[in-house]
Amino acid sequence: MFRYLTSERRTKDTVRKKDSGKPVEDIIRELKRAGRVSEDYREQSLRIHGLICAKCGREFGYKDRHLLTVHHKDGNHMNNPPDGSNWENLCVYCHDDEHSRTILGDYLKEEDH
C-alpha cells in the first residue's frame, strides 16, 4: 500500500531519512513549529517598532492597524530574527511603493543592457 523512496527506510513503524536520521514525525513537528514562529513575526514587529509606518511616519491605532504590514529589509521572508532587525513596519501604500520601485528598477536595468 505504501511506497518508500530508496533514500528512506522503514524501522518500527517510523520512516527515517538516511541523511538526517530523524523520524519524519519529528521533522514535521519542527517545520510546524518554525511556521508558527514565522506567522507571529507581524505581531512581534508591531510590538517592537510600534504602530507607525517607517517610511511616511503615519501613526495607526488599534482599529486601523491592519493597514500596517511588515517589510523584510533583505527580501527574505524566512529571515525573522527575534530582535526585529530585518523588519520595518510599512503602511500598505508605502509597502506597495517599496516593491514597485524594485520591480521598476529591475525593468530599467534590463533596458540598459
The answer to whether residue 28 is domain-embedded is yes
Domain count, the chain: 1
The boundaries of the domain holding residue 74 are 13-112
CA distances from 4 to 14, 18, 20, 24 (A): 11, 12, 16, 12
pTM confidence score? 0.59
Query: What confidence category does residue 36 fall into, taking pLDDT thresholds of 50, 70 and 90?
Result: low
The answer to whether residue 6 is domain-embedded is no
The answer to whether residue 44 is domain-embedded is yes
The answer to whether residue 73 is domain-embedded is yes
Angle subtended by helix axes 24-39 and 41-49, to nearest 10: 30
In angstroms and rounded to an integer, the radius of gyration of the C-alpha atoms of the chain is 21
The average pLDDT across 13-37 equals: 66
The average pLDDT across 72-76 equals: 92
The answer to whether residue 64 is domain-embedded is yes
